[in-house]
Chains A and B, each alone.
Chain A
Amino acid sequence: MNYSMIRYVLLKVVELTGALMTLPMMVAAVYGEWEDAEMFAVLVICCFLIGFIGGKVFRPVNRVFFAREGFVVTALSWLLISMIGALPFVLSGTTVSYVDALFETVSGFTTTGASILKDAGAVRYGVQFWRCFTHWIGGMGVLVFMLAILPMADGYSMHLMRAESPGPAVGKFVPRVKDTAKILYVIYIGFTLIEIVLLKIAGLNLFEASTLTFSTVGTGGFSLVSSGCKNYPLAAQTIMTVFMALCGINFSVYYLILTKRFKEAWHCDEMRWYLIAMLGSGSLIAVNIYRAGLVATPYLAFHHAMFTVSSIMTTTGFATLDYNVWPQFSRTLLFILTLIGACAGSTGGGLKFSRLVILVRNVRNELIFTIHPKSMRRVMMDGHSVEGTTVKSVSAYLACYVFIFFGSFLIISTDGFDFETNISAIAATFNNVGPGLNMVGPIGNYGGFSDLSKIVMILDMLAGRLEIMPLLTLFSFRTWKK
């Protein structure tokens, strides 16, 4: 293990966190919340000092960096940025305990959107901005951002990118990691700006427009008030539906579109499955809730169904209506969508559609193999055959996913809440969705859980965002062996 290099990257993360906190500091100052602005300022200065002095003192001697270091540094960076990011919540008195603050921050950075706050509307502007801004940072990834702006792109940077980016196989668009990271952020910032402008036009004020945008494009789901997005105009809700859906698509599709390779973009298997699943389940739920008489017109039924499906599938977790009271079929379908999540290479979480496609096609091949024992078939994706190792790692991922899911489910059941609450809470945190069913439904919160359960869910959120393996390596004895 190259500890000096890990330490160096972590110090850079501290510095970056400081830089990012300057934004909420300015927001707090604009709204005249001087105490909060001062708190942010102190944090910014501390972060810069630690990063600067540390960077001078601990210069990495040896810059050799392997996959193992990549995983460890990614997991540690996320833990570190969450721990620092939690400080404003405690210091401003938004949450009482540090565990609560950590839960809220991890939920932010991992773009989960699960909240322990009883009344999100009572949070002051500066802190509220920071809360939503964590979604935006976490959406595309902290280390990817560092790769884009810091001069650290050597051969090893691919290990970092691979450890942080979601999906079974991470590729580059262009030869250099740094340029790839830049392209990702350009697309991401582009979406952000467009949505802010559109929401502004739809009648929201600038603060609402920007914070909601951060929550949408990061597919996070922190809302500004506990009632969710119910009170915003229909146009704003439609804009959010579209942008959630867009940010759930693999960003390589946008790169293909930008480089005018429309045909290749259109042939992305994962995007097709994702869009079909989205429209299909949206329509089913629309019919279901309209027939149950929960909405007045078929148009409204479709509108709210699409918003909810888009929000759940992209693992955002916004709500316009309390889907907790919807018919059982809709609730179950939404729960299943929670598990699948969005596309690889997007800002969304969950199991990812590419994995689902690979699993389904692998199962189909196995079935054909049972009937024709001498047959040879490959798992195909986007017109290319998928490597055997990728298929294997997808299966292993699914196994890990199931173990962690049920393990966490068992632990939090000690708190004594009902079955639906518990299983949906784990599903919602592990897949970075946010709201679940019953007590943790769209208008509920996670405040009632014990500290142990909160810590379990914090780890689940991180495991979900980093796709399990980086976090598991932290707990593996072999990683730390000399």
Chain B
Amino acid sequence: MQIIIVGCGNVGSTLAEQLSKEGHNISVIDERSDILQSVVNNSDVMGIVGNGASYSTMKDAGIEAADLMIAVTDSDELNLLCCLIAKKAGNCHTIARVRNPVYKREIGFIKEELGLSMVINPEEAAANEAARLLKFPSANKIETFARGRAELIKLTIEEESVLCNKSLKEVQSELRSKVLIGIVSRGEEIFIPDGNFVLRARDEISVIGSTRDMIAFFKRIKMPTAGVHSCIIVGGGETAYYLAGQLLSVGVDVRIFERSRERCKELATLLPEALVIHADGTDKDRLMEEGLTTVESFVSLTDLDEENIMLSMFVHSLSKKAKRITKVHRAGYEDIIGSLDVGSVLYPKNITAERIVQYVRGMSNSFESNIETLYRMDDGRVEVLEFLIREDSPVLGVPLQDIRLKKGILVACINHRGEITIPSGQSKIAVGDTVIVVTTSTGFHDISDILA
């Protein structure tokens, strides 16, 4: 597809790189030529210096032939204006990043009247992600497939876990589990394991299966499956507001630490049920006073990455049980931060980019590819894809054991009319199924790409 991206910040450049790799033709518009230059050097995209809301700049970028325009500048108003111009000039799909809560309340009207295809609020998206993790605190990361029927959950194996030093075969037979361990990352290395693979403590594994089987599996390995009951949030920004709102609605006890008195007043008005504490979140005594040692979850959402990381590590030293979520803005140091004891890490910009990429995949699905969902994990070294099987597919009706696959590929799940199964050698694939595949290769567009 022809895609125009306005705004070349973190989200814009991540999108440009990602979407260009997936085979779309990308033009990027930004007023800062030096930043544009670095994006053009890193990815195979065309850069245009100019104001994205100007018609002539849009024309230079090829708006007339574009299928999609994504506006992710810093300014909400500019983003909306870009969408309006693009819609009128090119009659294409438009996506805008809008973060001001004032517009958020009127988003339905704005979307309708401006003809937007998607509006993304980075703070809200990050809050949603955090809330999802707090509902299932054993997971480091949760991704969904098959319209939410199947899940991929990432977790770390603790020293005392029953999974320790077991081979996958033993796990399968002893726990009678109906889920599949699809990816194991151990230090720097990534494995797509087979039955003889032995799990060790500190391995991070990705488990794939239906939502119901997943809960059973977690019960058997004695990890908590219920959501948290109490939560301390440090930093009372927009993300904290959205997160607290969601948590309160399901009856979680929420305490928010915020430094600024004015903001505290605002939060207290907006969230009357929450306990808003006007204190510096890094003040150890205040935290202890408010029950840090007994709280079930801790979310650090201040504007400083260093503070967030430090707080999470501090909480870990106090209580091994508490679920921690750490917000990190700066991209590019994922591996270092991942090696620290900071619990789940939220990258708001990556989340925003990921949501948009998912929308684009859905869109291009109707154009040329059969990918329903795609997740890139572990720095893009592993892809988990969900393919839709069409009538002319070469894998139809053949038992899986007779299909010769490329190296480093695992068929993880088959979704047959909403029923999720972990395939065996005899399993066959039918028309209309979706198949979840784990692979260390990239650039697959169709199920036939996995064949050797």
CA distance A345 to B20 in the complex (A): 25
Complex: chain B residue closest to A172, CB-CB: B46
A371 within 8 A of B: no
CB distance from B414 to the nearest CB of A (A): 31
Secondary structure at the B interface, as helix, strand, loop or mixed, is mixed
CB-CB under 8 A from B40, the residues of chain A are: 158
> Given A155-B17, A387-B33, A174–B43 Cβ distance below 8 Å?
no
B437 within 8 A of A: no
CB-CB under 8 A from B41, the residues of chain A are: 67, 155, 158-159
Chain B 5-32 near chain A by CB (<8 Å), digits 1 or 0: 0000000000001001000011100000
A153 within 8 A of B: yes
CB-CB under 8 A from A154, the residues of chain B are: 44
B45 within 8 A of A: yes
A157 within 8 A of B: yes
Between A153, A157, A159, A172, the greatest number of chain B beta carbons within 10 A of the residue's beta carbon is seen for: A172
> Given A174-B25, A175-B25, A153–B46 Cβ distance below 8 Å?
no
How many of chain A's residues have a CB under 8 angstroms from any CB in B? 15
Segment 129-158 of A: residues with Cβ below 8 Å from B: 153-155, 157-158
Chain A 380-418 near chain B by CB (<8 Å), digits 1 or 0: 000000010000000000000000000000000000000
A177 within 8 A of B: yes
CA distance A420 to B197 in the complex (A): 78
Q: How many A-B residue contacts, CB cutoff 8 Å?
A: 32
Segment 302-335 of B: residues with Cβ below 8 Å from A: none
Partner of B44, one of A67, A157, A387: A157
CB-CB under 8 A from B196, the residues of chain A are: none
CA distance A172 to B40 in the complex (A): 10
B173 within 8 A of A: no
A272 within 8 A of B: no
CB distance from B50 to the nearest CB of A (A): 10
In contact, B25 and A158 (Cβ under 8 angstroms): no
B339 within 8 A of A: no
In contact, B25 and A176 (Cβ under 8 angstroms): yes
CA distance A413 to B27 in the complex (A): 52
CA distance A155 to B18 in the complex (A): 11
> Given A174-B25, A175-B27, A153–B33 Cβ distance below 8 Å?
no
CB distance from B420 to the nearest CB of A (A): 36
> Given A158-B41, A159-B41, A175–B46 Cβ distance below 8 Å?
yes
In contact, A158 and B44 (Cβ under 8 angstroms): yes
Complex: chain A residue closest to B59, CB-CB: A261
Complex: chain B residue closest to A153, CB-CB: B44
In contact, A175 and B26 (Cβ under 8 angstroms): yes
Complex: chain B residue closest to A67, CB-CB: B41
Partner of B45, one of A67, A175, A178, A387: A175
B249 within 8 A of A: no
CB distance from B87 to the nearest CB of A (A): 21
Partner of A174, one of B17, B33, B42, B46: B46
CA distance A393 to B46 in the complex (A): 22
CA distance A399 to B33 in the complex (A): 26
Between A157, A175, A176, the greatest number of chain B beta carbons within 10 A of the residue's beta carbon is seen for: A175
In contact, A155 and B44 (Cβ under 8 angstroms): yes
CA distance A154 to B44 in the complex (A): 6
CA distance A177 to B41 in the complex (A): 11
CB-CB under 8 A from A177, the residues of chain B are: 44
CB distance from A408 to the nearest CB of B (A): 33
CA distance A161 to B136 in the complex (A): 50
CA distance A67 to B26 in the complex (A): 21
**Which 3 residue pairs across A and B have the least CB separation, nearest first?**
A175-B46, A175-B25, A155-B43
Mark A residues whose CB is within 8 Å of B: 67, 153-155, 157-159, 172, 174-179, 387
Given A155-B41, A158-B40, 8 more A-B residue pairs with CB atoms under 8 Å apart are: A153-B44, A155-B43, A158-B41, A174-B25, A175-B2, A175-B26, A176-B25, A176-B44
| Between-chain CB contacts (< 8 Å), 16 pairs | A67-B41, A153-B44, A154-B44, A155-B41, A155-B43, A155-B44, A158-B40, A172-B46, A174-B46, A175-B20, A175-B27, A175-B45, A175-B46, A177-B44, A178-B44, A387-B33
Mark B residues whose CB is within 8 Å of A: 2, 17, 20, 25-27, 33, 40-46
